[in-house]
């Protein structure tokens, strides 16, 4: 299975995390599944993990963040996001996630962003063979206890 993780899930899957996002990421990277990412997703993750409230909560240093992002870049298939129809997603910052899934021929987008769960986005992704799941749903689909 080819999986794209949105930055909002990856931010919960860093090396000091213990929740369902971390378990889902570890399962995917252990193989035979393939993690699909793009430069825009990695850059967004780096920005998100540097937010002061997340730094305070996670305890991650800028070195930790850099190592995590570099690790993900090394172990994933990094693609250039494909074009997405204008106006499909309410928030333009979500376009790289869907574009990454298209370009990477993903089977699943793992996200916690409610905009991806709107019917029109779900239907559009489904016509391209992409399921949209949150981290707990992904774990359940992999028959792993959330």
**pLDDT per residue as tens digits for the range 58-117:** 888 899 999 999 999 999 999 999 999 988 998 889 999 999 999 999 999 999 999 999
Please name each of the domains of the chain with its CATH number: 2-141 (3.40.50.1010)
Three-state secondary-structure class, residue 110: strand
27 burial type by CB count under 10 A (0-12 exposed, 13-18 middle, 19+ buried) = middle
Residue 14 phi/psi, 5° resolution? Answer: -60, 170
Going by the DSSP 8-state scheme, the letter that residue 117 receives in this structure is G
Give this prediction's pTM.
0.93
Give the tokens for residue 116: 């991806």
């Amino acid at each position: 299975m080819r999986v794209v993780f949105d930055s909002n899930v990856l931010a919960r899957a860093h090396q000091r995390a213990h929740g369902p996002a971390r378990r889902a990421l570890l399962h995917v990277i252990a193989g035979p599944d393939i993690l699909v990412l793009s430069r825009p997703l990695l850059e967004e993750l780096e920005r998100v993990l540097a937010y002061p409230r997340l730094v305070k909560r996670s305890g991650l240093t800028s070195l930790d963040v850099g190592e995590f992002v570099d690790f993900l870049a090394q172990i994933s298939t990094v693609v250039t996001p494909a074009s997405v129809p204008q106006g499909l997603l309410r928030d333009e910052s979500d376009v790289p996630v869907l574009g990454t899934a298209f370009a990477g021929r993903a089977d699943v987008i793992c996200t916690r962003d409610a905009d991806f769960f709107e019917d029109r986005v779900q239907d559009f992704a489904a016509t391209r063979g992409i399921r949209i799941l949150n981290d707990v749903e992904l774990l359940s689909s992999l028959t792993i206890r959330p």
